[in-house]
Structure 1
């Protein structure tokens, strides 16, 4: 991993951990697979920290620019799927 997770300096330590965990699960969905419920729980925590849709889009874009992994398709598949694991190609 030679990229940085998009973070806000005003977040608490716990919030930073939750956001990093969410983006790590997005990364895992591309590289291996991730449990759907675990991803959705992490996304709910992310949304408590970043409730604004425009801010979410900014963080998603920053993460994709840095890592090459798009967060939105992962979240979309997790929401729409009934499968227990999520894997993107």
Structure 2
């Protein structure tokens, strides 16, 4: 990993950790596989921290530009799937 996760300086330490955990799981979903329920749970926590759709899109875009991994497409796949493990 030669890039930084997008974070907001106004977030608390706990919020930063939760957002980094979410993006880390997205990364893992592309490189290996992830538990679908865990991904959806971390995404729900992410949405508590970033309730604005426009801010979410901005962060997802920054992460995708840096990593090449689409958070949106992984979440979409997880929601549409009944499988326990998700991999892109």
> TM-score per shorter chain, which class?
over 0.9
**TM-score normalized by the length of structure 2:** 0.99
**TM-score normalized by the length of structure 1:** 0.97
Name segments (4+ residues, structure 1) moved above 2 Å.
Answer: none
Q: Which residue of 1 aligns with 2:84?
A: 84
Output the CA distance in 1 between the equivalents of 2:57 and 2:50: 10
- Alpha-carbon RMSD: 0.4
Q: Which residue of 2 aligns with 1:14?
A: 14
User: For 1:23-38, what aligned pairs fall within 5 Å after superposition?
Assistant: 23-38=23-38
Residue deviations 1:46-81 (CA, integer Å, cap 9, x gap) = 000000111000000000001111110100011111
Q: Which residue of 2 aligns with 1:68?
A: 68
User: For 1:52-67, what aligned pairs fall within 5 Å after superposition?
Assistant: 52-67=52-67
Structure 2 unaligned spans of 5+: none
